[in-house]
Amino acid sequence: MAYTYATLTTTIRDYTEVDDSVFTQAVIDNFIMQAEHRINIELPMDSDRKVQEGTLVTDDNTINSPAGALFIRGIEVFNSTANTTGTGTWLEKKDQTYLSEYTGRLTGKEGDLTAQDVTGMPKYYAMFGGATGLTDTTSGGLYLAPTPDANYKFRMYYNKQTTGLSASNTTTYLSNYFPQGLLYACLAEAFSYLKGPMEMLTLYENKYKTSIQQFAGMQIGRRRRDDYTDGTVRIQVKSPSP
């Protein structure tokens, strides 16, 4: 069974036996948002994997993070200013301190990440800033080293915070393919809001933890392998003692 925004709202009220005078639509929306954020943080899903292509700017050692990016999975830079059809080079992810040391050794400006004296095709990248917000131009992104000496094409792979369930977005990947986990996460939020009963909060918290482990088995297990290359998954079943 899949949920829509309307059916999930009704189900939350039915399970908690609380009407819309207490669980207003704004309160329900908050439960759903908190549940979705929790699931997205605890379990990176294939449905949230995105790819963005762009062009590096000559003598600029930064790239803006894509809008809504949760984390960057990889950056591929192409030795071309025309397209991304050639062979790409994968940048190595490092800490800012590594890039600082790298540029400092070559320029004599150790500790200065804004130093752009070292130019060439980038080899490394490091994250900086905080949340990326809703656009690519907000504070936060990636440092590159060396600083690009040409307008190289690049491809960025990342996981994105997707649009949540709402009155204007009535179904999502989670509501269709992980409805029980989404419901249990919402009910945990609901009983926390109600300050109990504690046994109900514990019940749905445990149900959520069990369901997300099962969902993770598919998302980062079965979806990341196939029977031909990895072999069929075999689960040991204990036989009763004679």
Residues 147 and 67 reside in one and the same domain: yes
Whole-structure pTM value: 0.78
pLDDT score, position 90: 95
pLDDT score, position 100: 84
Residues 116 and 193 reside in one and the same domain: no
Residues 117 and 185 reside in one and the same domain: no
Cβ atoms of 76 and 136 closer than 8 Å: no
Residues 66 and 119 reside in one and the same domain: yes
Please check whether residue 78 lies inside any domain of the structure: yes
Looking at the chain, which runs of residues are DSSP E strands?
Answer: 49-55, 62-64, 69-78, 88-90, 92-93, 119-120, 124-128, 141-145, 147-148, 153-160
> Would you call 159 helix, strand, or coil by DSSP?
strand
- Each of the 242 residues of the chain gets a pLDDT tens digit; together they read 799 999 999 999 999 999 999 999 999 999 999 999 999 889 888 888 999 999 999 999 888 888 888 889 999 999 877 777 777 899 999 998 888 888 876 655 555 555 556 889 999 999 887 655 555 555 568 899 999 999 999 999 998 888 999 999 999 999 999 999 999 999 999 999 999 899 999 999 999 999 999 888 888 777 777 777 767 766 666 767 66
pLDDT score, position 193: 95
Please check whether residue 63 lies inside any domain of the structure: yes
Please check whether residue 50 lies inside any domain of the structure: no
Please check whether residue 187 lies inside any domain of the structure: yes
Please check whether residue 237 lies inside any domain of the structure: no
- CA–CA distance, 90 with 116 (Å, rounded to integer): 21
- CA–CA distance, 19 with 239 (Å, rounded to integer): 49
pLDDT score, position 178: 94
* Count of domains forming the chain: 2
- CA–CA distance, 103 with 117 (Å, rounded to integer): 8
Structural domain harbouring 87? 57-151
pLDDT score, position 64: 87
pLDDT score, position 118: 82
Tell me the CA distances in angstroms from 43 to 3, 32, 36, 184, 224, one per residue in order: 20, 16, 10, 15, 14
Please check whether residue 234 lies inside any domain of the structure: no
Residues 108 and 132 reside in one and the same domain: yes
pLDDT score, position 238: 72
Q: Pick the last residue of a domain from 151, 183, 199.
A: 151
Q: Where are the alpha helices (DSSP H) in 44-161?
A: 96-107
pLDDT score, position 202: 95
Q: DSSP letter for 47, please.
A: G
> Would you call 129 helix, strand, or coil by DSSP?
coil
Please check whether residue 239 lies inside any domain of the structure: no
pLDDT score, position 137: 52
